[in-house]
């Protein structure tokens, strides 16, 4: 088996000598040893579930384990390795190259000819490029290997479509507070692998904040527990951990965020949809999540400006001005001071009347511009700055709007094929209600004048 799963607690070198290595981190020592010890993934691993049954029958097919850090992907692979009668090869996409893959594939082909199965586990498979992922495909198709990949990234974007189509995706969920709390309590009482020999005392509120602080990541939760227990005073011979100590030790939460990955788009989607649904509380929360995690504030500002036209539009023309002002404030005073300006903009946009009529109007006009015949500009709408152009009837028939009552002339301004086509249809919300009243009135005026002209 590959060194990825070697026992980190073994103090002996290859010759059996004691190297006096320090103990492994608590998170590694407390790694579950059975499927029943894995917390928070009952939807996949409860008795009778397909994945559990496939592992028990040693009948697992190629699979992608997708989930956030610390949810049990590598642990699950280790347990599959322990349960299978097949040859199990594991390596990390961070360290392996194309030569390593080809060597493993060649060995797997030889094993298949000898009647033995090979399960290949690739940790962080999303870090392999297309060529590296393609190297697995022929062996998966030929049945030489069963591929198990683990990834924190959306496999729809990070795993080759051909490989993905031949694999079953199992989604591991972030662990809830209750699951994290059970993991922490087990570590506190386990005298063999955990902290039980130290007999630490920890208050319920301190345990609760550790569980919340870990963001559903068991590894992070156990690392934090190890940190606070190590920092705890020992007035009666064993560590005492209270809320004040936890807060002082942790100081500031590090939010899980990948500015180029799925979480980036998930949070922006949540912000956009919260503003669209007129929910200022959710809008400012998602905004804060992004900014506090280190998102580029200018990216956020650009999305707010886009939203002002796309989802508010002329229902409140002031919205675009507010969004642009927030962008200008960001340029002028920078961060973190501009977080308030961005929050002001997000809250204003969330509470503004909504209309996507401008967005729909542009989409319809763009379709007409690209799909229909590109008719020439009508002669009456063309300028005639030269004598030649005037002689060719450029500008002939143009009606100067200011000469007409209400500054509305009867002429058509669309190409002949599109005359009568309406791209912009204002709603009855906000200022668009007034725009609709104006447009309806102007349409009546134009119809009457055209009738009179006829």
Give domain status of residue 363, yes or no.
no
85-98 core/surface letters (b: 16 or more CB in 10 A; e: else):
ebbbbbbbbeebee
Q: Contact, 325 vs 341, CB < 8 A? A: yes
Q: What is the pLDDT of residues 377-429, one digit of tens each?
A: 899 889 988 988 889 899 999 999 998 888 888 888 899 888 889 999 999 99
CATH of the domain at 315: 1.20.272.10
Give domain status of residue 269, yes or no.
yes
Give the per-residue pLDDT at 2: 47
Band of the pLDDT at 17, cuts 50, 70, 90?
A: very low
Give the per-residue pLDDT at 9: 46
Give domain status of residue 364, yes or no.
no
Handedness of CA 438, 441, 447, 449 (dihedral sign): negative
Q: What is the DSSP letter of 336?
A: T
Band of the pLDDT at 11, cuts 50, 70, 90?
A: very low
Residue with tokens 């033995």: 116
HSE-CB of 337 using CA atoms within 13 angstroms: 7
Average pLDDT over residues 87-113: 83
Whether 16 has a pLDDT exceeding 60, the answer reads no
Who wins on pLDDT, 47 or 5?
47
Give domain status of residue 64, yes or no.
yes
Q: What is the pLDDT of residues 363-375, one digit of tens each?
A: 999 998 988 778 8
Total domains, the chain: 4
Question: How far apart, in whole angstroms, are the C-alpha atoms of residue 10 and residue 219?
Answer: 20
**Same structural domain for residues 80 and 138?**
yes
Question: How far apart, in whole angstroms, are the C-alpha atoms of residue 131 and residue 163?
Answer: 12
- Partnered with residue 168 across adjacent β-strands are 63
Question: How far apart, in whole angstroms, are the C-alpha atoms of residue 228 and residue 231?
Answer: 5
Give domain status of residue 360, yes or no.
no
Pairing of strands 87-92, 118-123: parallel
Cβ atoms < 10 Å from Cβ of 213? 18
Nearest to 155 by CA among 140, 146, 168: 168
∠ Cα 390 393 396 (to 5°): 100
3-state secondary structure of 358: helix
Q: What is the CA radius of gyration of the chain?
A: 32
Give the per-residue pLDDT at 101: 82
Give domain status of residue 324, yes or no.
yes
Whether 12 has a pLDDT exceeding 90, the answer reads no
CATH of the domain at 142: 3.40.50.300
**Same structural domain for residues 163 and 56?**
yes
Q: Contact, 102 vs 133, CB < 8 A? A: no
**Same structural domain for residues 154 and 65?**
yes
364-393 core/surface letters (b: 16 or more CB in 10 A; e: else):
eeeebeeeeeeeeebeeebebeeeeeeeee
Give the per-residue pLDDT at 43: 93
Give the per-residue pLDDT at 286: 94
Question: How far apart, in whole angstroms, are the C-alpha atoms of residue 251 and residue 5?
Answer: 33
Whether 8 has a pLDDT exceeding 80, the answer reads no
**Same structural domain for residues 198 and 306?**
no
Question: How far apart, in whole angstroms, are the C-alpha atoms of residue 101 and residue 144?
Answer: 13
Give the per-residue pLDDT at 259: 53
**Same structural domain for residues 143 and 210?**
no
Q: Contact, 410 vs 399, CB < 8 A? A: yes
Q: What is the pLDDT of residues 287-313, one digit of tens each?
A: 999 998 888 899 999 999 999 999 999
Give the per-residue pLDDT at 194: 93
Cis bond upstream, residue 336 (ω within 30): yes
Question: How far apart, in whole angstroms, are the C-alpha atoms of residue 114 and residue 11?
Answer: 36
**Same structural domain for residues 272 and 243?**
no
**Same structural domain for residues 234 and 191?**
yes
Residues in the chain: 454
Q: Which of 171, 203, 220 is the last residue of a domain?
A: 171
The whole-chain average pLDDT of the chain stands at: 87
Give the per-residue pLDDT at 181: 95
Q: What is the pLDDT of residues 234-272, one digit of tens each?
A: 877 789 999 888 888 876 655 555 555 667 788 899 999
Question: How far apart, in whole angstroms, are the C-alpha atoms of residue 112 and residue 116?
Answer: 5
**Same structural domain for residues 197 and 310?**
no
**Same structural domain for residues 276 and 331?**
yes
3-state SS string over 218-286?
Answer: HHHHHHHHHHHHHHCCCCCCCCEECHHHHHHHHCCCCCCCCCCCHHHHHHHHHHHHHHHCCCHHHHHHH
Q: What is the pLDDT of residues 104-114, one digit of tens each?
A: 888 888 888 88
Name the residue range of residue 309's domain: 262-351
Whether 360 has a pLDDT exceeding 50, the answer reads yes
Give the per-residue pLDDT at 332: 92
Give domain status of residue 12, yes or no.
no
Question: How far apart, in whole angstroms, are the C-alpha atoms of residue 411 and residue 409?
Answer: 6
**Same structural domain for residues 224 and 279?**
no
Q: What is the pLDDT of residues 160-196, one digit of tens each?
A: 888 899 999 999 999 999 999 999 999 999 999 999 9
Give the per-residue pLDDT at 274: 95
Give the per-residue pLDDT at 18: 47
Nearest to 119 by CA among 158, 164, 150, 97: 150
Give domain status of residue 209, yes or no.
yes
**Same structural domain for residues 41 and 85?**
yes
% of the chain beyond a pLDDT of 90: 50
% of the chain beyond a pLDDT of 70: 92
Whether 433 has a pLDDT exceeding 90, the answer reads yes
Average pLDDT over residues 204-227: 90
Cβ atoms < 10 Å from Cβ of 165? 8
Who wins on pLDDT, 7 or 136?
136
């Amino acid at each position: 088996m590959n060194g990825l799963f070697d026992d980190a607690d073994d103090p002996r070198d290859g010759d059996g000598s004691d190297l006096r290595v320090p103990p492994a981190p608590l998170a590694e020592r407390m790694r579950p040893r059975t499927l029943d010890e894995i917390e928070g993934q009952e939807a996949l691993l409860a008795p009778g579930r397909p994945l559990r049954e496939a592992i028990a029958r040693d009948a697992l097919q190629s699979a992608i384990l997708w989930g956030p850090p610390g949810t049990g992907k590598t642990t699950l692979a280790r347990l599959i390795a322990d349960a299978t009668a097949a040859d199990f090869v594991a390596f990390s996409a961070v360290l392996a190259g194309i030569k390593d893959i080809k060597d493993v594939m060649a060995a797997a082909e030889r094993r298949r000819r000898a009647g033995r199965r090979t399960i290949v586990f690739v940790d962080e498979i999303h870090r392999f490029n297309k060529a590296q992922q393609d190297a697995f495909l022929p062996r998966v198709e030929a049945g030489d290997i069963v591929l198990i990949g683990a990834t924190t990234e959306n496999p729809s974007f990070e795993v080759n479509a051909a490989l993905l189509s031949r694999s079953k995706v199992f989604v591991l969920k972030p662990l809830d507070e209750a699951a994290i709390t059970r993991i922490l309590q087990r570590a506190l009482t386990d005298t063999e692998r955990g902290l039980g020999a130290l007999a630490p005392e920890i208050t319920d509120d301190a345990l609760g904040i550790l569980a919340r602080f870990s963001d559903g990541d068991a590894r992070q939760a156990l690392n934090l527990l190890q940190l606070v227990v190590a920092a705890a005073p020992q007035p009666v011979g064993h560590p005492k951990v209270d809320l004040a100590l936890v807060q002082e030790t942790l100081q500031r939460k590090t939010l899980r965020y990948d500015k180029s990955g799925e979480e980036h788009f998930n949070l922006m989607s949540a912000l956009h949809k919260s503003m669209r649904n007129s929910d200022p509380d959710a809008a400012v929360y998602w905004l804060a999540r992004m900014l506090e995690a280190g998102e580029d504030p200018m990216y956020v500002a650009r999305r707010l400006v886009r939203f002002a036209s796309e989802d508010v539009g002329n229902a409140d023309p002031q919205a675009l001005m507010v969004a642009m002002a927030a962008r200008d404030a960001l340029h002028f005073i920078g961060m973190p001071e501009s977080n308030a300006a961005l929050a002001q903009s997000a809250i204003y946009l969330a509470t503004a009347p909504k209309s996507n009529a401008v967005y729909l109007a542009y989409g319809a006009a763009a379709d007409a511009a690209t799909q229909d015949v590109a008719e020439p500009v009508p002669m009456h709408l063309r300028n005639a700055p030269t004598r030649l152009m005037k002689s060719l009837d450029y500008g002939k028939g143009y009606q100067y709007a200011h000469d007409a009552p209400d500054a509305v002339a009867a002429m058509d301004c669309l190409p002949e094929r599109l005359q009568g086509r309406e791209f912009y249809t204002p709603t009855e919300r906000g200022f668009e209600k007034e725009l609709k009243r104006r447009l309806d009135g102007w349409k009546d005026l134009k119809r009457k004048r055209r009738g009179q002209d006829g």
